[in-house]
Structure 1
Amino acid sequence: MHQDVVLIEKEALSLPLDQRALLVERLFQSLGREDELITQRWSEEAEKRLDAYYAGKVSAVDGPSFVASLRRELA
């Protein structure tokens, strides 16, 4: 891997989670490959999850609690 890429990767990984997610989204968009099928599938998945929530099949978890549990898992 080129040294510049290694440095950028190291810096990106040190960003807070929300900033890394934004960076990933922007990099993906920069590829110019916003695939309609992917967008459609994510939309369908979001609808399915929302329907499950409304039906009482799953419960909601607030963002800070989820991030805290994710950090515990990854530690």
Structure 2
Amino acid sequence: MSNDIEGRLVDLETRLSFQEHTIGELSDALAAARDEEARNSLLLHRALEELKQLRGAMSANPLSADPSAEPPPPHY
């Protein structure tokens, strides 16, 4: 009976060790995903700011956005 209890205890310790290792890996993966999300959020914010600036520049000078106001290409 003592041998049976010892075997069960070893089994539980093994499972606990595996679970602790898995939790550590999941924690690392979650931290990496959060870092990536923060980088992507910053990139999106910058892109939106650039788009706002481009829209402002285009509305301030609408003729430059009109293809018909452009001179013909040199090969014509």
Return the index of the structure with the highest Cα Rg. 2
Return the structure number with greater helix share. Answer: 2
The answer to whether the superposition gives a TM-score over 0.5 is: no
* TM value normalised by structure 2: 0.33
* TM value normalised by structure 1: 0.33
